[in-house]
A and B are shown apart, each in its own frame.
Chain A
Amino acid sequence: MTITHHPDMSTLMAFSAGTFDEPYAVVIATHLAMSEGGRDIMHRLNAIGGALLDDEQETEMSSGALDRLLAAADQPDLPEQITPSSDVPLPLAPYLPNGLTSAKWKWSGPGVAICDLPTRDESSSRLMLLRVAAGRPVPEHSHGGQELTLILSGAYRDRFGLFGPGDIADHDEDVEHKPIAEMGA
């Protein structure tokens, strides 16, 4: 898998710092599961973050902070009842326990379907799957801020180039584009 479109560095830094809402964190974690180069960059950013923390002045922790940290570290990455499907990367498995075949698609226009993936946090951001038939354009749409789009399968092309599996489009609200799903990708 050759990945040519990566997240913006500020996006990776936000993920490293743990400041993203759940939907964004899931997209970046899934991208990193598909991108060895992305994981390498993330290791470096985590090291930089660690070095910055080392330079901070020591301060008193709230009571029970260590116990909460150790309890969180003991939590399994995946609930026991989830067996990762072979057709979705591991970070996506809790949201699609039986893989892409279990996605509940809703018609959203000719050749376009959406599957909302419920998240646990209460942010206004939204996580979803978008499915576009080959040769069809993604409909023009609006959104209030950053939009992360990770290709899981197939490909699309827009004015920024060709996006295949593992590639990510990291756009803010000012970017206008009209991706068209590739034929035979």
Chain B
Amino acid sequence: MKMLNISPSLKWEPDCICLVAVDAPLSFRSRLIRTLQPLFGL
């Protein structure tokens, strides 16, 4: 079984690095925010 190597410095190894172009600001919205938004009428 392959084990993840998690060092004390929390270095992500291995990981995936991508180069990205988008034509508008990329917005990440967490599931928590999406859940809370309707509750607060946002």
Contact = CB atoms under 8 A, between A and B. Distances in A.
A111 to B, nearest CB: 7
Contact of A144 (B12, B20, B21, B23): B23
B21 A153 contact: no
A82 interface: no
A123 B12 CA distance: 33
Interface residues of B, number: 22
A183 B12 CA distance: 11
Interface of A is mostly: mixed
User: Which of B18, B24, B28, B30 lies at the interface centre, i.e. has the most chain A CB atoms within 10 A of its CB?
Assistant: B18
A4 to B, nearest CB: 16
Interface string A117-141: 0000001111111111111000111
B26 A134 contact: no
Given A134-B12, A183-B2, A183-B4, A142 B27 contact: yes
B29 to A, nearest CB: 7
Interface string B5-42: 00000001111111111111111111100000000000
B21 A135 contact: no
A27 B19 contact: yes
A146 interface: yes
Contact of A134 (B4, B19, B21): B4
A24 B30 contact: no
B35 to A, nearest CB: 13
Contact of B19 (A92, A133, A139, A146): A92
A181 interface: yes
A184 interface: yes
A148 interface: yes
B42 to A, nearest CB: 16
Contacts of B25: 124, 126, 143
A126 B12 CA distance: 25
Contacts of A135: 4
A181 B23 contact: no
Interface of A: 21, 23-24, 26-27, 30, 92, 100, 108-109, 111-112, 123-135, 139-156, 181-185
